A and B are shown apart, each in its own frame.
Chain A
Amino acid sequence: MSAWAIRHISTAVAALGRLSRQPFASLMTVLVIGVTLALPAAMHLVVKNAQIISASWDNALDFSVYLRTDVTLEDAQRLVDIVGQRADIESVTLISAADALEEFREQSGFGEALDHLSVNPLPHTLVVRPGAANTEISIGLLNEELGNLPEADFVQVDTEWVRRFHAILNILERAIAIGTTLLAAAIIVIIGNTIRLDIQNRREEIEVTKLIGASNAFVRRPFLYIGVWYGLGGGLLALALVGYGLYALEEPVLRLSGLYSSPFVAVTLDLKESLIIAGSGVTLGLVGSWLAAARHMRRIEPR
């Protein structure tokens, strides 16, 4: 191992040792950073899970095309074939008026009342499932085109709210990004301030070290490592907090998805996301301590 590496490792270890000599104060700082990092991480996880749930709804974005009542079953059948040939449509199924009435009779409980009807008031209906390659715009065009069919009475997009939900998630994501930026700035300030106090407390030591020939980089190094440790500690704590939060939520989530007979299980942070959180802790720690050291170290000169 090179002398350079040994020097850095020993500085890092010494910085850790210094922190462990004031366990309470160090822990408080780590706690503040950990909670501040856990906040956006948890929010991110909520959005991520919501996206996973709503992704399964995406496939259910079906159009119900109610045909005019004067369209015969044969015409409807022909229309199914024609519409089904379109490239942007995955499948078309026909629910005939008779089937629809039968289903309605079974599900509504109006069975006997319906028997008194002389004619079936229900139209034939096409259930159109668009292909997966469709975009928001092409879905809109498809909606319009289906509505313009001469046989169509009106088109209903049953799952319009899924798109609204997606839009809300997008806003939420953006809001989290903004919030994360502010919290990152807060962490830099917290670490910077802690390091500034530390520099002031060790003013005499810095003076003596400079007096016997230490460069700014040499006196700065231990403080940078302290910042890195704070950040790393905070990052790991944030991961632990998020992990514990998920663990606490696991049972109620399972119960809920059981009620919906859904196989949904809340996803946790993957390796990449965990590394990003720990890494941003370290980066913010380094930036915060660097700013504090650059600002205050220069002014401390031997007298």
Chain B
Amino acid sequence: MIRIENVCKRYPGGHDALNGLSLHVEKGEMVFVTGHSGAGKSTLLRLIALIDRPTSGHVIVDGQDTRRVTRRKIPAYRRQIGMVFQDHKLLYDRPVFDNVALPLVIAGLTHREAGRKVRAALDQVSLLSKEKQSPETLSSGEQQRVGIARAIVSRPKVLIADEPTGNLDPDLSLEVMRIFRRFNEVGVTLLIASHDIALIDQLGCRRIALADGSLAVEKEEDPVAEYVERLEAENMRDTWQP
């Protein structure tokens, strides 16, 4: 579904954010991208969202090479992808309903036509009762769920999220991740950038670690291997103890 082929991204000033990165997210997968800040997570998502273009290599989403998406076609391309942001990026001058309806309105539906889909999306994030409120009156966790409802309201096949739980406490984070998990169960492909490794491990999804703009380790979730790893690490610490 998402195929990254030997992608380099050099920003003006010579900083290499991505350095020959290749990865592949299968259809229906839920994959986390981890790594320190500056490892290239955000850059990767920006390339997928076509906020930036790669310096070299290919980004292919649902069979579409982003190189072939011209400037004029970017809006139509973005409408196929759901996006969730760390800072929610909601519009605070209008109620929750209008925020969630925005992708549908952009796609040409009237408010009335959008109503059913908007309520379905709000229902999925358990915010149906708050549709008339202003986002400002909601907690950070609720705002993020509004952002998620907006990302899924037009039923995209792919959803990308950049640190969706970055500003949330652990309980809320888990709730947000459970929501993502539910979408994944109905076939949505998700690529989520996060550094909350403990949380990711709870969910048991594939994890792609980035370091300095390329792949660090790509590992399947394997509790046993991890346990052994931890034991070994502890043993080594023990042996080194004076």
| Those 8 A-B pairs whose CB atoms lie nearest each other, nearest first | A213-B79, A213-B78, A215-B75, A214-B106, A208-B89, A6-B110, A213-B75, A302-B51
For residue A210, CB closer than 8 A to chain B, the reply is: yes
| Chain B contacts for A303, CB-based, 8 A | 51
B:75-122 near A, CB below 8 Å: 75-79, 83, 89-91, 93, 102-103, 105-111, 113
Instruction: Evaluate contact between B102 and A209: CB separation under 8 angstroms.
Output: yes
- Output the least CB separation between B179 and chain A (Å): 18
Contact with B along A2-43 (1 / 0, CB 8 A): 010011001000000000000000000000000000000000
Task: State the CA gap A215–B70 with chains docked (Å).
Answer: 13
For residue A247, CB closer than 8 A to chain B, the reply is: no
For residue A205, CB closer than 8 A to chain B, the reply is: yes
For residue A244, CB closer than 8 A to chain B, the reply is: no
For residue A211, CB closer than 8 A to chain B, the reply is: yes
**Given contacts A213-B78, A302-B51, A208 and B91 within 8 Å (CB-CB):** yes
B:158-203 near A, CB below 8 Å: none
Instruction: Evaluate contact between A7 and B76: CB separation under 8 angstroms.
Output: no
Given contacts A6-B110, A212-B79, A216-B75, 12 further A-B contacts (CB under 8 A): A3-B110, A7-B110, A208-B89, A208-B90, A211-B51, A211-B78, A212-B151, A213-B79, A215-B75, A218-B75, A302-B49, A302-B51
Residue of A3, A205, A209 near B106 (CB, 8 A) is: A209
- Output the least CB separation between B197 and chain A (Å): 28
- Output the least CB separation between B138 and chain A (Å): 17
Most chain B CB within 10 A, of A210, A301, A302, A303, is at A302
Task: State the CA gap A212–B105 with chains docked (Å).
Answer: 11
For residue B150, CB closer than 8 A to chain A, the reply is: yes
Residue of B89, B106, B110 near A213 (CB, 8 A) is: B106
Instruction: Evaluate contact between A7 and B108: CB separation under 8 angstroms.
Output: yes
Instruction: Evaluate contact between B91 and A205: CB separation under 8 angstroms.
Output: yes
| Chain A contacts for B51, CB-based, 8 A | 211, 301-303
| Chain B contacts for A213, CB-based, 8 A | 75-79, 103, 106-107
Instruction: Evaluate contact between B83 and A211: CB separation under 8 angstroms.
Output: yes
- Output the least CB separation between A30 and chain B (Å): 22
Task: State the CA gap A3–B89 with chains docked (Å).
Answer: 28
Instruction: Evaluate contact between B110 and A212: CB separation under 8 angstroms.
Output: no
Task: State the CA gap A35–B123 with chains docked (Å).
Answer: 52
Task: Sample 9 A-B pairs with CB under 8 A, ordered by A number.
Answer: A205-B93, A208-B89, A208-B91, A212-B106, A213-B75, A213-B103, A215-B76, A301-B51, A303-B51
Question: What interface size band does chain B fall in?
Answer: 20 to 34
Main secondary structure of the interface of B (DSSP, over half): helix
**Total A-B contacts with CB atoms under 8 angstroms apart:** 52
Task: State the CA gap A208–B89 with chains docked (Å).
Answer: 6
Most chain B CB within 10 A, of A211, A216, A301, A303, is at A211
- Output the least CB separation between B140 and chain A (Å): 17
| Chain B contacts for A302, CB-based, 8 A | 49, 51
Task: State the CA gap A10–B114 with chains docked (Å).
Answer: 14
| Chain A contacts for B78, CB-based, 8 A | 211-213
Residue of A nearest to B81 (CB): A213
Instruction: Evaluate contact between B83 and A212: CB separation under 8 angstroms.
Output: yes
- Output the least CB separation between A219 and chain B (Å): 9
Task: State the CA gap A218–B74 with chains docked (Å).
Answer: 13
Most chain A CB within 10 A, of B93, B106, B109, B111, is at B106
Task: State the CA gap A83–B90 with chains docked (Å).
Answer: 90
| Chain A contacts for B109, CB-based, 8 A | 3
Task: State the CA gap A271–B83 with chains docked (Å).
Answer: 53
Residue of A nearest to B102 (CB): A212
Residue of B nearest to A205 (CB): B91
Task: State the CA gap A211–B89 with chains docked (Å).
Answer: 10
Task: State the CA gap A142–B110 with chains docked (Å).
Answer: 73
Most chain A CB within 10 A, of B90, B108, B151, is at B108
- Output the least CB separation between B38 and chain A (Å): 17
Task: State the CA gap A37–B75 with chains docked (Å).
Answer: 39
Task: State the CA gap A209–B150 with chains docked (Å).
Answer: 11
Task: State the CA gap A216–B71 with chains docked (Å).
Answer: 10
- Output the least CB separation between A176 and chain B (Å): 43
Task: State the CA gap A216–B108 with chains docked (Å).
Answer: 14
Task: State the CA gap A115–B93 with chains docked (Å).
Answer: 97
Task: State the CA gap A7–B109 with chains docked (Å).
Answer: 8
Task: State the CA gap A212–B108 with chains docked (Å).
Answer: 13
